[in-house]
Homo-oligomer: A and B are copies of this chain.
Amino acid sequence: MKHVEGGICAVRGVRANGIKQGKNGLALMVSDAKKLVTTGVFTRNKVIAAPLIITRENLKKKELKAIIANSGCANAFTGEKGIQDAKWMAGLLSTKLQCSPEEIGVASTGVIGRYLDRAWLSGHIDEVYDSLSGSKDASNACARAIMTTDTTMKEVAVELDNGVRIAGIAKGSGMIEPNMGTMLAFLFTDAALSRKALDASLKKAVDKSFNMVVVDGDTSTNDMALLTATVYRECYERTFLEGLDHVCISLSKMIARDGEGATRLIEARVSGAKTVKDARAAAKAIVRSPLVKTAIYGKDPNWGRVVAAAGYSGAEVDQDRISLKFSGNDKEAVLVDSGKIIEGKLDELKSLMESREIVIEVDIGLGENGATAWGCDLTYDYVKINAMYTT
């Protein structure tokens, strides 16, 4: 596997473009291949946004030829009008492509409980559509168009050893604790896989990646990941899954690193759990804990908070078996060994906390199962960004 240039346009058959003006953005992704297989995963929030309802329905009937996404308005909690607006968005692009609106995926991100700005979108569709292209810059423009409080564009493309390419763009910075999707991720591959294989691969990859990211613990109404295969190259499912895992985990780490106000990426690796569910619960509790997150921001060697988070996570835990290690900047500090506190390590811990990436390893000591979760520190800027988001 190697990284390649070009973002989602590195995948054969994919054209893209986007525009961002102030809070509003419009992104288009069109797959031109003769045969397409597409699948998606959606938020489990019971308040689910209109574009997700429409896209989920469309996926049941058709393969998605193209995706239209806007930023600035989530079109969530907008009732029947929201549904009409989402269909209208699909129509905006299907008219151009001369296909059925049911062949369009629709995505939105932004403020909840506000109606779509149709005027802005219809005023910019021509401009974006007319410059659709398969260039690196086009993927870039598309990835930028879906950003909200994101400070970095999130894009990755790989080529597997068998020549298959897998690429994706994502956005997400706040309201991040995805549950079956991330804020928005659009994934493309030229692999030839059945819908069933594609479905299964996406679910598995998302469970290991986007579903293991926590910025603030708020699960969005608009989380969605869509995967389009342009069916140009044969590929073993197992080989494909390895590549897809890599792409999804890369995007997930970008989201965590770019968490609202974040200065540090936190990776929590839990091992020795009785079940995978336990390992996932403990890893996520650690990166979700406001006390762990603020301690890491302040470089405060308050490691007891990690143990407390594992303890309340719901995972089976025996405090006399836990081991704990922090690492960062190529240094490490072993703080607890099978329940025994290793004293005199606080200065080492404080010093490695200067690192921009902190790895926390917890061995629960009760079994063979592990999981990794990603998060970020909690800073003054998270409060600032979110105290003044809509105004």
Contacts and interface: CB of A to CB of B under 8 A. Distances in A.
Interface of A: 44-48, 74, 76-79, 111-114, 174-175, 177, 179, 216-221, 288-291, 294-295, 297-305, 307-312, 315-320, 322, 335-336, 339-341, 350, 378-380, 382-391
A311 B299 CA distance: 35
Given A79-B339, A113-B303, A341-B79, A309 B389 contact: no
Given A174-B291, A291-B218, A379-B383, A389 B308 contact: no
Nearest to A335: B113
B295 A45 contact: no
7 contacts: A47-B308, A113-B335, A174-B291, A217-B288, A297-B387, A300-B388, A380-B380
A307 B383 contact: no
Given A77-B341, A341-B77, A386-B294, A218 B319 contact: no
Contacts of A302: 111-112, 389-390
Contact of A46 (B216, B317, B340): B317
Contact of A312 (B44, B320, B335): B44
Contacts of A218: 289-291, 305, 308-309, 312
A305 to B, nearest CB: 7
User: What are the 8 tightest A-B residue pairs by CB atom distance, in nearest-first order?
Assistant: A298-B387, A112-B304, A47-B311, A294-B386, A113-B304, A219-B312, A46-B317, A216-B290
A363 to B, nearest CB: 14
Contacts of A291: 174-175, 216, 218, 386
- Between A297, A339, A390, the greatest number of chain B beta carbons within 10 A of the residue's beta carbon is seen for A390
A386 B312 contact: no
A74 B219 CA distance: 32
B341 A300 contact: no
Nearest to A289: B218
A159 to B, nearest CB: 37
B386 A308 contact: no
